[in-house]
C-alpha cells in the first residue's frame, strides 16, 4: 500500500492500493476495505482511484456517496 497524501490534513484514510478492478483502502482505525467493480461498481471505483492518487477528497466521497457499499472488510492489522 502507498500512503495517502491527505492534502486536507483531516482524512481518516491513511493508505491505498490500486488494482485493475479494485481499490483497497486502509483507514486510521487499521481496517482495510476493498471496493471493486461489483461493489460499489466500476464508476465509483475509478472515481475513488482518481481521488486517492490526487490525495484529496477520498474520505469525504466514501462517507457521502459510497457508504457501506464495499466488497470486503479486513480486520485490523
pTM: 0.93
Q: Residue 32 belongs to what H/E stretch?
A: strand 32-36
pLDDT, position 75: 73
pLDDT, position 76: 61
Query: Residue 61 in contact with residue 32, Cβ under 8 Å?
Result: no
Dist CA 7 CA 33 (whole Å): 21
Phi/psi of residue 53, each to 5°?
-70, -30
Q: What does the DSSP 8-state code read for residue 40?
A: B
Q: Give the Cβ contact number of residue 26 at 10 Å.
A: 21
User: Digits of tens for pLDDT over the chain (77 positions)?
Assistant: 999 999 989 999 999 999 999 999 999 999 999 999 999 999 999 999 999 999 999 999 999 999 999 999 997 65
Domain span at 43: 2-74
Quick one: how far is CA 12 from the chain centroid? 10
Count of structural domains, the chain: 1
Dist CA 58 CA 6 (whole Å): 9
Amino acid at each position: 500500500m502507498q500512503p495517502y497524501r491527505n492534502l486536507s490534513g483531516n482524512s481518516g484514510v491513511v493508505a491505498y492500493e490500486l488494482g485493475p478492478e479494485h481499490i483497497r483502502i486502509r483507514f486510521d482505525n487499521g481496517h482495510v476495505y476493498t471496493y471493486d467493480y461489483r461493489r460499489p461498481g466500476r464508476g465509483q471505483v475509478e472515481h475513488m482511484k482518481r481521488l486517492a492518487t490526487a490525495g484529496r477528497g477520498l474520505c469525504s466521497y466514501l462517507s457521502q456517496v459510497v457508504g457501506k457499499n464495499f466488497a470486503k472488510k479486513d480486520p485490523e492489522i
